[in-house]
Copies of this chain bind each other. A is one copy, B any other.
């Protein structure tokens, strides 16, 4: 089998006829499959549903002397802070425990920067003429939507196999209107890249011109290995403190992909000074988050050792799905030279980069054949992929047997798009 680039027009026409025929067969199956979002599948939900029974007795509801059922304790239960601090490698007093969504804590941080300013802001960001934000990409669409929603100018930062292009980042942060940067440091969304220790150190040691530069450290996949053992990762709060930037970083994580995605607990980790400042703003927004659910998580997850054991069970469910995706790509696409991809060992995605100009068409063909995927361009700011190349595959939701069909459709559509382009 040779690459498409090496084939003659006649060979490509024959291939087109064969692929088109297979595509029509697939369409005739009237499939309805979804690889759009990093949504855990039913087996993962069932795996963790004992959390529904772990707290049933009112006598269990007192934690460190705090009545979890009543109002109070804005910053969260101490036991929940200890649990997250152990998972993230920071200190309990650096942890603020939120509701079921770390996305909300991220939004609220940026919203408060906009309405009130951060600890070291000269004024609220809504009073600034211009705010720019660095966006390593491909990246997480929901991050970009937040900064887009507040009207910030987003600047694309290319991802490398060791993380964001740090030469570019270090140069751009000299601009005082550059106020922050999005990062998913471990198993980045969507590439699954783990930032190298060197990259993380360079990020922590940045010298931004903006005194209130906001490093948004979304450690969404901090313990989410699906292939191999837990990979230790430096604590960004410590590194920033040691580099003289103690208040530059806010780190986020949640149990959404550890326990129940719709009913988890989130954390925002930051310096104690940042915590005090944010508490002064968040106390206006709420009395306290759901401490009963925090306690449920403490009782269910117990500690890091026990949580990592649970993650191994998630991995057993996830690994075959990623193996399926990679097998299809390796077998059907690799020989054709029309796309490349990372081989992540954790996280929730496989990120495929096609030769330029194929992403939109591939996904349109998938949709027509009943396979819904993350929209083309979604992994870039403003939904604009300059190369029309990146496609995020989210294999977690469908069972493997459905995934086999979905990947058949995907590979067929990618080939078809490539052949259409060649023959146009």
Q: Taking beta carbons and an 8 Å cutoff, which residues of A are in contact with B?
A: 37, 39-40, 42, 45-46, 49, 52-53, 55-58, 61, 67-72, 99-101, 103-104, 107-108, 111, 114-116, 124, 126, 142, 145-146, 149-150, 256, 260-263, 281, 284-293
Contact = CB atoms under 8 A, between A and B. Distances in A.
A374 B381 CA distance: 48
Contacts of A99: 99-100, 289-290
A39 B69 CA distance: 11
A45 B69 contact: yes
B45 A70 contact: yes
Given A114-B115, A284-B146, A262 B100 contact: no
Most B C-beta atoms less than 10 A away, residue of A56, A70, A116, A289: A70
Nearest to A265: B290
Nearest to A262: B291
Contacts of A49: 58, 61, 69
A282 to B, nearest CB: 9
Given A71-B39, A71-B256, A263-B291, A286 B104 contact: yes
A349 to B, nearest CB: 15
Nearest to A116: B149
Contact of A56 (B52, B58, B292): B52
Given A52-B58, A58-B46, A149-B284, A262 B104 contact: no
A67 B52 contact: no
A293 B263 contact: yes
Most B C-beta atoms less than 10 A away, residue of A67, A72, A290: A290
A114 B112 CA distance: 11
A154 B408 CA distance: 62
Contacts of A124: 126
B58 A45 contact: yes
Given A260-B292, A292-B262, A107 B45 contact: no
A286 B58 contact: no
A115 B126 contact: yes
B56 A261 contact: no
